[in-house]
Amino acid sequence: MSIDLTFDRQHLWHPYTSMQNPLPCYPVICADKCTFTLEGGQELIDGMSSWWACLFGYNVPELNNAVKQQLDKMSHIMFGGLTHQPAIDLAKKLIEITPTSLDKVFFSDSGSVAVEVALKMALQYWHALSQPKSEFLTIRNGYHGDTFGAMSVTDPKGAMHELYHQFIAKQRFVSQPKVRFDETWDPTDLNEITQQAEKHKHKIAAIILEPIVQGAGGMCFYHPEYLKGVRNLCDKHKLLLIVDEIATGFGRTGKMFAFEHAQITPDLLCVGKAITGGYMSLAATLTTDIVAKQISAGKAGVFMHGPTFMANPLACAVACANIDKLLAFDWQSKVAEIEDLLKQFLAPCAQLSSVKEVRVLGAIGVVEMHKIQDIETIQAKFVAQGVWIRPFAKLIYIMPPYIISIAQLKKLCVAIYHVISV
């Protein structure tokens, strides 16, 4: 039986597309390792790790087994008033691979919700101190999710959420860091955020940002000293620091978490996407004993949040297996190898007049064009080349699974060059 693309086009609303004139969708029938197969039999190399989630590709035996074993015991149980071993095991693993002070774990069902949880924790923390603060400070060109709180700290100017700017809470934004990851550090890059923090410290509950790598807001890599300076600012003015590692966590930048490049520790940490290896939707917000105790000592006496699928046992079980696999895998060497190969294979793109810049960090490769790309046209060209790469705006980027072969990675990069050089 073939996939009903007519029904799909008429009734299924895909992300970031129109129902009146939707972008074409390619029918997938199966996936294995670093490739997936379309209905007609064409095999595509996956350059996106399914939106950065599938660290080890598809059909991973250890992850398959974890789901099967847990399924026979319990697929779901509410987390209100109940608990279970997969959640306990996963919390232990997260605490073990993060800084010592981050020892309180709140599970949710998506990265965007993990950010909402962090924002609410920050607000409730100050409320419990009888010092209510209602604003957040962040940097432009960031991205934190599509729910309302997350949208409010995502750059509203010229971004995907500009349409909603009159309906979301107004937050404070400063310019994007100017000094890139591999450039010589200039302390003046911190001037604007320093001024804003000092001027509005009595209103700001927390500074929130994506560490080192700004994801969907522009795929820019900024200097670790900027993040270190922000941590110092928070310490000086007694602000909370929220770090959004939804896209960068679990080794993607060459460190287990991107904030490690700056050798700092946040007060709240959001993780998601790759936590389950792409098998289930799951996220977590980690925080400190200080924050947790203060919230619990407040007027409410509890943290006011509770997702229905919080700590879903299936998701927790596969996340445990995924983290075990990651820790047993020489991911540091593999990510370093991918970084070297991306720099080598994408270098020819930098010579094209249509290309503004090529940048690489860890297992992330970005080709920034001068002009916005026609997604439908360029997507079809990539499929014709036998690869799956989904650009947005001016950015053509890849974040491949860690198990990708050299030949597969080269094919992805050669396809980018071939498509944009025509």
Determine which one of 16, 182, 199, 374 is catalytic: 16
Is 402 annotated in the active site? Answer: no
Determine which one of 189, 244, 267, 417 is catalytic: 244
Is 226 annotated in the active site? Answer: no
Closest CA to 308 of 116, 109, 121: 109
Is 186 annotated in the active site? Answer: no
Token output for 235: 């310490």
Determine which one of 125, 143, 222, 402 is catalytic: 143
Determine which one of 33, 93, 273, 325 is catalytic: 273
Is 203 annotated in the active site? Answer: no
∠ Cα 150 143 234 (to 5°): 75
Residues ≥6 apart with Cβ < 8 Å to 284: 90, 94, 105, 106, 107, 108, 114, 270, 271, 272, 275
Which sequence positions are flagged as catalytic? Answer: 16, 143, 244, 273
